[in-house]
Amino acid sequence: MDLLVVGLGNPGPEYEGTRHNIGAVAVELLVARHHGSLSGEKGLRARAGQIRIGDHVVLCAVPLTYMNESGLAVAPLVRRAGIEAPADGAAATSRLVIVHDELDLPSGRVKVKVGGGTAGNNGLKSVHAHLHTGDYLRVRIGIGKPPGRQPGADYVLKRPGKDEREALAVAAEVAADAVELIATAGVEAAMNRVNTAE
């Protein structure tokens, strides 16, 4: 397996279309683009499926766990993809891409990042806790800051209005493009193309 791509979100119809699920939406879009499908698999707490991007075999997945337990799904997926981290952790985790929503970016903005903190994202906190490292690739999809004094937890679980929904639909496509670039041209090329776009 060349790459493992996981889109974070919450399962179930009550969370469909919420800001917190944009990572899962982007990965589902990527899978559909490459004529794949996601399905449950014994031993995995995720819907997963394999696609081919150019010459590269990519395992894509969307956890069936809630966002704050994402690590429970990601850890077995890492094993399933055969990218168990070596002692130094560096080589293996460059083959793991997490696609997630990001409060620290304007809504609709997409950025590729290598490693780093969690920026308060409970999905990333859980992944960190289960993998014992933050050194993996992220495709961050901006959802903007909550207005006024609205708590972040409420904001991410809301469905955006029409204009923002359209911006996020475009961002999901850009995030899928970013994963394709990571797979075919490497993370530097993806960062150069995606992070500099306005």
Q: How many CA atoms lie within 13 A of 157 on its CB side?
A: 15
Contact 19, 75 (CB under 8 A): no
Q: Which residue, chain included where needed, has tokens 């490497």? A: 186
Q: At 149, phi and psi to the nearest 5?
A: -105, 15
Q: Give CA separation, 147 vs 15, 65, 144, 155, 156, in Å.
A: 20, 28, 9, 8, 12
Neighbours of 143 (CB within 10 A): 29
CA distance linking residue 108 with residue 102, whole number of Å: 10
The residues annotated as belonging to the active site are 20
> Which among 4, 3, 8 has a CA at the least distance from the CA of 119?
8
Instruction: Tell me whether strands 46-53 and 96-102 are parallel, antiparallel or unpaired.
Output: unpaired
